[in-house]
Amino acid sequence: MNKFLVFLCSMLVSLLMMSTTSLAAEDQVFTDDELAEMEEEMIDLGYDSELIEQSLDKLKSGDLPDVLKEDATIVSQDNRVEGNKIITTEVYEDGTYSESTVENHGEEEPLSSEDEEIGLLSAGSTQNVTVSRRNFAVYMEFSARITYVNRGDSFINSVYGQNQRSITGSVAVNNNVRIIRQSQNGSTPALAGMAVQWTGAINTPSQNFQLGILVNNTSYSRTTSF
């Protein structure tokens, strides 16, 4: 009889342990491998240890840090120049941030006489740039061929080279990279962009991320909404 009671008790303990493990697995919506990948990305982006810990705690509970929410408030923005790159860091209320880059690949030859014959007499030069956006879950990138006009409205010739990847979860292209507004119109810049939908994990809502480039006179910048 005593042996039977001991057997029942051991079975009960085993069942309780299995139940607890199962609940913990359900509570953690991201896998350990996914969390480890995002932690590596945060380290690479320069997050401090406290911010990494806070962000991981949110992810483990099924919540999302602000940088992974499409409607989160940006509290500050910093721009810096590194060589031929303009790097923009956008900081959100909880301290998380994303990094965007516009890279200029150099000036091409000035427009030809054939171009001038079709009315581009005041054109300046054509350049190729790559614009990208990165947080610790999604990376987006595309390139654009731009003509800067010395006197008049600049324009976007073409867009190409769309690229997106998901560090964790999955991304689907909502609309292929496209020219939304080909020519600058006075103070309204030319605009091209792309959008992706990120699905992070079960029980977390899908998020839409956008990446665009604005071309105004002889300058360019990137935008995360259009």
pLDDT at 24: 38
Q: Which of 2-11, 14-23, 199-208 has the highest mean pLDDT?
A: 199-208
The sign of the torsion formed by the CA atoms of 106, 112, 117, 122 equals positive
**Stretch 134-150: mean pLDDT:** 90
Q: From the centroid of its chain, how far is CA 45?
A: 13
What is the pTM (predicted TM-score) of this model?
0.77
Mean per-residue pLDDT, 50-57: 97
pLDDT bin (cut points 50, 70, 90) of residue 187 is confident
What residue ranges do the domains of the chain occupy? 28-223
The per-residue pLDDT for range 79-129, each reduced to its tens digit, is 999 998 999 999 999 999 999 999 988 766 555 555 555 555 455 678 899
Is pLDDT at 1 greater than 70 in this prediction? no
**What confidence score (pLDDT) does residue 19 get?**
39
Q: Mean pLDDT check: name the lowest of 10-14, 97-101, 125-129, 135-139.
A: 10-14
Average pLDDT, the chain: 81
Whether 145 shows a pLDDT value over 80: the answer reads: yes
Q: ∠ at Cα 149 (186, 180), nearest 5°?
A: 60
More confident residue, 108 or 132: 132
- The CA distance from 95 to 39, in Å, is 15
**pLDDT tens digits, 104-118:** 887 665 555 555 555
